[in-house]
């Protein structure tokens, strides 16, 4: 690569950085973090665990490398969990929502039992297709074995549902068929 090609590439990179910084300058720290998290996921780039944004009044947010391993980790969102676990059905997504609310949600949102309104809210937040009959989604997931009814339209994730989310998702051929493949018998001897 010639010197002029390197300079041209560097100029394009600086221009792109300028566009990004101008786009972010009107946002607050949490908004900037959400935008950057989305961009990292969208471009399939690993998010560096040691970088955080620090908003300062009147100044663009600055990326700071923290040497301290005790810095606060970013809160996992329902959308992040859905993308990681890749549920394939409304029943699986319902179990995922219940797991999220009982184990991973911010403390202020945590709950042990959920209802149809919770499902609708978190399906939308996760970007998962809503079931045709939202009030029937939890009874369906309970019939599939993932929930226990607790009364008044509330359902609690049971061990089967918990194990599905923690150990069964995302589904892979190895998880479905086991590590060993079974040979199909043929009519030959």
**Which residue is it, tokens 């944004």?**
53
Range of the domain at 128: 78-177
Residue of 67, 99, 61, 56 lying closest to 80 (CA atoms): 99
CA angle 87, 78, 32 (to 5 degrees): 135
Average pLDDT over residues 123-128: 97
pLDDT in tens, 2-30: 666 666 777 787 787 878 878 877 877 77
pLDDT(139) > 90: yes
Same-domain check for residues 8 and 33 = yes
Entry pTM: 0.57
169 and 88, same domain (yes or no)? yes
Say if residue 44 is in the same domain as residue 10.
yes
Examine the pLDDT at 38 and tell me if it is beyond 80: no
Residue 49 pLDDT greater than 60, yes or no? no
Average pLDDT, the chain: 80
Strand partners, 188: none
Number of domains making up the chain: 2
Domain match, 50 and 136 both: no
Residue 155, domain member (yes or no):
yes
Residue 153 lies in a domain: yes
Pair (91, 150) in one structural domain? yes
Assess if residue 183 is contained within a domain: no
d(CA 16, CA 10): 10
Q: What is the pLDDT of residue 22?
A: 83
Residue 62 has pLDDT above 60, yes or no: no
Beta-carbon count within 10 A of 77 CB: 18
Asked if residue 188 belongs to a domain, the reply is: no
Decide if 169 is inside a domain.
Answer: yes
**Domain membership flag for residue 71:** no
- Longest distance between any two alpha carbons in the chain, whole Å: 81
The yes-or-no verdict on residue 60 having pLDDT over 80 is no
Query: 120: domain CATH number?
Result: 1.10.10
């Amino acid at each position: 690569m010639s010197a002029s090609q390197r300079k041209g590439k560097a100029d394009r990179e600086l221009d792109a950085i300028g566009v990004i910084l101008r786009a972010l300058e009107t946002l607050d720290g949490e908004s900037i973090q959400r935008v950057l998290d989305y961009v990292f996921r969208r471009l399939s780039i690993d998010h560096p665990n040691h970088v955080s944004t620090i908003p300062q009044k009147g100044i663009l947010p600055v990326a700071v490398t923290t040497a301290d391993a005790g810095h606060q980790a970013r809160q996992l969102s329902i959308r992040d969990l859905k993308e990681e676990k890749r549920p394939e059905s409304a029943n699986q997504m319902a179990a995922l929502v219940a797991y999220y609310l009982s184990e991973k949600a911010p403390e202020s949102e945590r709950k042990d039992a959920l209802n149809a309104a919770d499902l609708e809210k978190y399906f939308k937040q996760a970007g998962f297709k809503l079931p045709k009959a939202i009030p029937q989604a939890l009874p369906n997931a309970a019939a599939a074995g993932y929930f226990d009814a607790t009364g008044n339209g509330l359902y609690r994730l049971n061990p089967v549902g918990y194990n599905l989310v923690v150990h069964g998702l995302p589904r892979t051929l190895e998880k479905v068929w086991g590590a060993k493949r079974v040979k199909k018998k043929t009519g030959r001897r």
